[in-house]
Amino acid sequence: MIVILTSAATERNREDIVENLESRGYNVHVSVGVEKTIIGIIGIGPEEKAEVADQFEALPFVERCVPISAPYKLVGKAFRPEGTRINVRGIVIGGEKAVMMAGPCTVESEEQLMSAARAVKAAGAHILRGGAYKPSTSPYSFHGHGVEALKMLAAAREETGMPIITEVMDVRDVETVCEYADILQIGTRNSQNYNLLREVGKVQTPVMLKRGMSGKIDEWLQAAEYIASSGNYNIMLCERGIRTFETYTRNTFDINAIPAIKELSHLPIIADPSHGTGKASLVSAVTLAAFAAGADGAIVEVHPNPEKALKDGAQSLTPAAFEDLMKKLAGLLPVVGRTL
């Protein structure tokens, strides 16, 4: 980390800083410039860096602290350069095979879920998605069937053999959801709900961590670091679109984030084009794009009868559109060295 002093800093200020740092055991390099003085701290880890920056930036003669290395460690590329592979009931996420998660946004009924599950299974999906607990902007919207929905998901797994992924929103539900789910999803609104991140870090069920709707890549990886540093290394990241000024689409899918995560982290990266666009008509194109850019998997909303979906219908594919997407995907994957 580099500490940049203001042009008003005195020699005494500089010496105080250096002394303070040396007393903590760091090696320090001082570079006195014409306008400003720069102090480099050698070998400081992410743990101490946050603390030192907080303290030093409060000093009136410190202009700012510039981190040189990443504020995360366990989820950083260097920690496991070969990449993380997560085995979910035989489906490997982060390996050669691309993984497709599909299903309805919300579990509405046994019939709806089973119908969707059969359809996506037939088209080649690997993992079944479905919301039991649903975050909604309005308190008056539908919030999911809870445990009943979890049971329906388990029954669908039973029949189709597909592992299931579902969202957990509340620290008090982690235990229950773990009883049913194969992958825990942390939604965008909880991407900085640190207590929830710590709770899912205490179990070993794999976690899919969605990016906050205004989360910087850096913050997203630190959120993952919360999970890892609590003990659970089975983490996959999910790009689901960020909030921008554009209003034609619900969110702006950040395609740059796919290769960016690949160069910064060893964690698998999953694309969510349903939320990333908010428009069914754009989902197939963006799914193909995400795999072309190197995504390890995708999670797509498919509704057996999207015209009747209770929630987020606007972004759900029909089973026929999903089947068509899977066919195109089978053609595309070999170009990026993968298969379905």
Least separation in angstroms between residue 320's CB and its own copies is 12
Give the three-state DSSP class for 93.
Answer: strand
Q: Are strands 269-271 and 235-239 parallel, antiparallel or unpaired?
A: parallel
Q: What does the DSSP assignment read for 5-66?
A: EPTT--HHHHHHHHHHHHHTT-EEEEEE-SS-EEEEEES--HHHHHHHHHHHTTSTTEEEEE
Q: What does the DSSP assignment read for 261-285?
A: HHHHBSS-EEE-HHHHH--HHHHHH
Least separation in angstroms between residue 318's CB and its own copies is 9
Q: Are strands 164-167 and 62-66 parallel, antiparallel or unpaired?
A: unpaired
Least separation in angstroms between residue 163's CB and its own copies is 26
Q: Of 10 and 141, which CB lies nearer to its own copies in the complex structure? A: 141
Q: Of 185 and 277, which CB lies nearer to its own copies in the complex structure? A: 277
Q: Of 7 and 87, which CB lies nearer to its own copies in the complex structure? A: 7
Give CA–CA dist 191/220, Å, rounded. 7
Least separation in angstroms between residue 183's CB and its own copies is 21
Q: Of 162 and 271, which CB lies nearer to its own copies in the complex structure? A: 271
Q: Of 132 and 264, which CB lies nearer to its own copies in the complex structure? A: 264
Least separation in angstroms between residue 109's CB and its own copies is 15
Cα 125 from chain centroid (whole Å): 20
Q: Of 60 and 90, which CB lies nearer to its own copies in the complex structure? A: 60
Q: Which two tokens stand for residue 69?
A: 């290395």
Least separation in angstroms between residue 281's CB and its own copies is 6
Q: Which two tokens stand for residue 77?
A: 């590329």
Radius of gyration (C-alpha) of the chain in whole angstroms: 23
Least separation in angstroms between residue 113's CB and its own copies is 17
Q: How far is CA 180 from CA 16, 110, 155, 174, in A?
A: 56, 16, 10, 10
Q: Of 47 and 111, which CB lies nearer to its own copies in the complex structure? A: 47
